[in-house]
Chain A
Amino acid sequence: MRELTESEFKVFVDAVRNYFEPCGGNLVVRAAYLSATSTPELYPYIGLINISGAFTGQVYLSAPEGLLRHLLRCYHEPNTSEDNLLDAIGELANTLAGSARRHFGAELEISVPSVFKPGDPAPRHTRERAYTIAISWCGFDGIVVVDLAAN
């Protein structure tokens, strides 16, 4: 197993940009870095995709309720129940991971999303340190965690 290269990590940064920029509003990728600790500070909602094939690990997005409510409004979805917030973050994680296959190809096998609601235990990481992308979209912060190693 080896670490992701910088260009492989950038694929996920680009996937984040590709997702949010068409939604409109101001997207800022505040930082993209290898975290110093095993678990970065997380927001209450998480959408997680397990990865297998050419890579092993997981990719997940962690976001506050406000970001997800705003995303639902962008989709003209009037129902902002917790079920729909979880649905939205699962779909977002699925789309980010799926977009990465444009670069990695079908060898990047992705699962259906798992979702974590407030109070659920945080995901357990595969690696000691994870790549983290801190974003701000329309004034709402969130993070994407890329906990992957190449096989």
Chain B
Amino acid sequence: MSTKPIKLLIVDDSKVIRNRIARLTMDPRLPNLQIVGLAANGLEALELARQHKPELVTIDLTMPEMDGIECVGELVSAFPDINILVVSALSDKSTALTAMKRGARGFLHKPFSDDALVEALLELMKD
């Protein structure tokens, strides 16, 4: 019996990082993830989220058009049950706290190892 895949949206202004995260979602430790979109900024992310209603999002913070903090707030407002993992180079505590207050449920600092991303996603999906 197959389980229903978990819909994942990946948001980062770096294509290299988007592709890296996409590749890591194939890790056998993770449940079946279905990538429903790759977005380069917050506005693209909101559009893709409206179309595909993802259950899980990884999101960068420093992005053009609409930054990650604002996008997290918009996503949580529209989809209160959404699980958001921030993956950002901004390593100060206040930024992490702000993201969590807006509704993010996890924070992973860049640079990250392959294992750290997989473990952060697993932790998030326990909720």
Contacts and interface: CB of A to CB of B under 8 A. Distances in A.
Given A18-B111, A98-B62, A91 B16 contact: yes
Interface residues of B, number: 23
The 7 A-B residue pairs with the shortest CB-CB distance in the complex, in nearest-first order = A98-B89, A102-B91, A101-B92, A95-B89, A91-B14, A98-B90, A87-B16
The dominant DSSP class at the A interface is helix
A143 to B, nearest CB: 19
B62 to A, nearest CB: 6
B88 interface: yes
Contact of B94 (A84, A87, A105): A105
Interface string B93-108: 1110000000000000
A19 B19 CA distance: 19
A98 B110 contact: yes
A94 B110 CA distance: 9
A101 B20 contact: no
Interface in B53-99: 62-64, 88-95
A9 B84 CA distance: 34
